[in-house]
Chain A
Amino acid sequence: MAAPEFEIPKFKEHLEVPKIQEGSMAHIKSFISPQPTQEFLGYPWELGEDWKERTLFKMGDLLGKYRSLRVFMDACVHCGACTDKCHYYLGSADPKNMPVARQELMRKVYRRYFTLPGKIAPWLVGAEDLTKETLADWYSYYHQCSECRRCSVYCPYGIDTAEVTMAGREILNYVGMGQKYSNEILGKVQKIGNNLGLPGPALEDTLAGLEEDIEADTGVPVKMPLDVKGAEILLVTPSADFFSEPHVESLIGYAKVFHAAGVSWTLSSHASEAGNFGLFNGNYETMRKVAMRIRDAALELGVKRIIVGECGHAWRVAYSFWNTLTGLGFDGKDPFSIELQQQLDHRYPQPMHICEYTWDLIQNNAIKLDPSANDDKVITYHDSCNVARGSRMGDEAGGQFTIPRNIIQAVANNFHDMAAETIGEGTFCCGGGGGLLTDDLIEVRVKGAYPRMNALNNVVQEEKVNFMATICAICKAQFTKVLPYYGFDRSMVGGVHQLVSAAIKLD
């Protein structure tokens, strides 16, 4: 790790809200998406002469299509409740990283061109002309938001900055200012089938290698089937699970769980990606196109159930949006959704999270576990933001908090939660979500991780915690990268099914 060119916040027993430092993060600029990437997605790659008209046109278009944006532009009263809630503000002190100020970047343009007071007396109501500097500010600060929704928990009107960030990025794309990282991934997933650009044959080789490793390790021939028609379960998991550390340990865990349960399951080379970066850009049609690959694979393979691996944003899209986008769920009344839904097994939720699946098996004593296998670990659990505030597990509200913790406590003996205000619905994002998991944003990522790292440090000091489990591919990759900046070992982070993998007893 090279010495960082920025200051890393210091640990405190209680997180302190910093005094504002105007412009402290204004230099941040993620790499701009190049021509071929933009062309593939149907966007321009530089500002044209009509950039102003295009910006305002797209803004009006989105205001007419999204009630969230429409209401959120009007409803804010500047009360300040959200100002100390964003991890990027807490870690950077840049006031434009306060949720309200991030929204205000768009709201001041909204007021100027779409409201009467802003047209008549802009100086009075905080309305401002749209300039190229405005767009530069949008580009910088809408890529310092991980769309984690923490602000929306605390807003008295439920204003969700993620919705504003998504709209901001969609407008930026529309005028030719796309982000390289997210847009290249959106190209790869649509051309090859996953975000890492891993082609089918390479995937097949990887899975065969993993099967050998597991058998060498356990003596049991646990399989990782690919493209098996007629399998009962289709597993859709983030492609990082196929060869990133520590992600792959959880993939091995899922395979062992399926093996122990004795079900037929398969992965798909066509839908070898659970993550959906369409969410980050806020473009409904892109998000739908990416999600359609899973529908197509499910129909092609004829599976009865769809289970999603450990991935935060993926689970939000799967749980909350798949039924809407692709008909993957229940209660469809139209031929499009009925075609898929009549194939699915109605005894189970569709889609189902791998944690819901494993927890059901544990409750039914259908798998054997030896929690002492994890006795070398003192474990804490990081609630991933999009699972916590954008989805659910199980039948009851809040199942997304209890089910993963129940699993951990069934497969391990030493568990301690971090401070209450930093977990559950108030969980701090890892700092790398929402399309920020790129090296050109490392300063944002390290500073944004600060509130989580601070809470982790407190349980490390007090409870001797040495492992932080989580169920998100981005969290795992982000923590692996930023833990060393805070003096921790990168192998401290891993998946819940990594713990399951160690504890499960196979026959």
Chain B
Amino acid sequence: MTSLTVFYIGLFYVATLILVAGLAYRIYEYSRTPAPLKIPTTPAPTTNAGVAYRMAREVVLFESLFKSNKWIWLFGWLFHVGLALVLFRHVRYFQEPLWFVVEFVQPFGKYASFAMVAGLAGLWARRFLVDRVRYISTPSDHLILALLIAIGLSGMMMSFVAHTDIVSLKAFMLGLMTFDFQPLPTDTVLLVHLTLVALLMIIFPISKLLHAPGIFFSPTRNQADNPREHRHIAPWAAALDRDNG
């Protein structure tokens, strides 16, 4: 086992731990923080089933963004759908034998990378071209886009230009999951790709990528509009009823 392989084994365990534990902690934090008042942005669904449907439309279709700005919607949606397909395609490197859907999605996941990178490029272009967006962009906004594009391009290099030893890579990944460690191929593009992915996993719980769990906890989107019918009260607020009568 080379020191390179050992390094990447360590990197992926650390990155996975930070991603999972970090996100779990954030979700715990969000769920523990009370929402003392009913503040759905109305018109809002009046039932919990309606809320689930609204949330699904937000998460799958980006409904509010569509209402807001067609360019951001187009680029943002292309990127996220592309990323989802690409990620799903990558399941093949973590299981043996493959599920049918994972096999089925392979060609789509491969070409979805173009949509993903095109969407990211569009979003990045807006940070330079639109004065309002330029004003609000921080260095980290640019770097996260650069990181995602670099991940996408390095992956596409391996899919379409210079193939890596994919059989060995899969053995390495399966080995990580079963603690039966295997050597990692050493071509540069792969190492760049893997390093950047690990970096993305590490920054996820401490960056704006928290919008992913955040939307599910957003009170303006996840509350039903039924305040007259149901008394909604947070524990710290209920204490006021008892203290002041």
Q: Which residues of A contact B (CB under 8 A)?
A: 17, 19-20, 22, 63-68, 70-72, 74-85, 95, 98, 100-101, 104, 115-117, 123-126, 149, 152-160, 163, 284-285, 288, 292, 319-321, 323-324, 327, 329-334, 336-337, 349-351, 388-392, 396-398, 400-401, 425-426
Which chain A residue has the least Cβ–Cβ distance from B64? A156
Cβ contact within 8 Å between B232 and A324: yes
B231 touches A155 (CB 8 A): no
List 3 tightest A-B contacts by C-beta distance, closest first: A75-B214, A126-B138, A154-B68
Binding site for A on B (CB under 8 A): 26, 29-30, 33-39, 41-46, 58, 62, 64-65, 67-69, 72, 76, 123, 126, 130-133, 135-141, 143, 203, 206-208, 210-211, 214-215, 217-221, 225, 227-234, 236-238, 240-242, 244-245
**Whole-angstrom CA separation of A104 from B140 in the bound complex:** 14
Contact A79 to B65, CB < 8 A, known contacts A74-B208, A324-B36: yes
Alpha-carbon separation in the docked complex, A398 to B44 (Å): 8
**Beta-carbon contact of B211 and A157 below 8 Å:** yes
* A327 contacts B231, C-beta separation under 8 Å: yes
Q: Which of A84, A159, A163, A292 contacts B132 (CB 8 A)?
A: A84
* Contacting pair B227 A77 (CB below 8 A): no
Chain B residues with Cβ below 8 Å from A80 are 69, 72, 126, 130, 132-133, 136
Q: Is the CB of B30 within 8 A of A67?
A: yes
Can you give 29 contacting A-B residue pairs, CB < 8 Å?
A65-B34, A67-B34, A68-B39, A70-B29, A71-B33, A71-B217, A74-B211, A75-B210, A75-B218, A76-B208, A78-B136, A79-B76, A80-B69, A80-B126, A83-B130, A85-B68, A116-B206, A155-B68, A159-B218, A284-B37, A284-B237, A285-B240, A320-B38, A324-B36, A324-B233, A329-B230, A331-B231, A334-B241, A397-B44
Chain B residues with CB under 8 Å of A331's CB are: 229-231
**Chain A residues with CB under 8 A of B46:** 392, 396-397
The answer to whether B214 touches A66 (Cβ under 8 A) is no
Report chain A residues within 8 Å CB of B208: 74-78
Contacts of B141 in A (CB 8 A): 77-78
Q: Is the CB of A389 within 8 A of B41?
A: yes
Point out which of A78, A153, A391, A398 has the most chain B C-beta atoms below 10 A from its C-beta: A78
**A residues within 8 A CB of B140?**
117, 124-126
Residue of B33, B35, B41 with highest tally of chain A CB at under 10 A: B41
Residue of A with least CB distance to B212: A75
Q: In angstroms, how far is the closest chain A Cβ from the Cβ of B135?
A: 5
Provide the bound-state CA to CA distance between A320 and B133, in Å. 34
Q: How far is the CA of A64 from the CA of B33 in the complex (A)?
A: 6
Give complex CA distance A28, B40 in Å: 31
Given A67-B30, A67-B219, do A78 and B227 touch, yes or no (CB 8 Å)? no
Residues of B within 8 A of A401 (CB): 43
User: Quick one: closest B residue to A386, CB to CB?
Assistant: B42
A400 touching B131 by the CB < 8 A rule?
Answer: no
The residue on A at minimum CB distance from B237 is A284
| Given A75-B218, A76-B208: A288 in contact with B225 (beta carbons within 8 A) | no
CB distance from B220 to the nearest CB of A (A): 4
CA distance A247 to B135 in the complex (A): 42
Query: Which of A124, A154, A292, A396 is most buried by chain B, counting CB atoms within 10 A of its CB?
Result: A154
The answer to whether A330 and B230 touch (CB under 8 A), given A65-B33, A400-B42, is yes
Rounded to whole angstroms, the CA-CA distance of A391 and B231 in the bound complex is 15
Q: Min CB distance, B67 to chain A, in Å?
A: 6
- What A residues does B244 contact at CB under 8 A? 292
Residues of B within 8 A of A22 (CB): 135
B231→A333 contact, CB < 8 A:
yes
The answer to whether B228 touches A124, judged by C-beta atoms less than 8 angstroms apart, is: no
In the assembled complex, which residues on chain B have CB atoms less than 8 Å from the CB atom of A388? 42
Is the CB–CB distance between A152 and B41 below 8 Å? yes
For the complex, what is the distance from the CA of A292 to the CA of B241, rounded to whole Å? 11
A329 touches B44 (CB 8 A): no
Nearest chain A CB to B80 CB, angstrom units: 10
Say whether B221 contacts A330, CB under 8 Å: no
Q: Which of A160, A327, A349 has the most CB of B within 10 A?
A: A160
Measured CB to CB, the nearest residue on chain A to B135 is A95
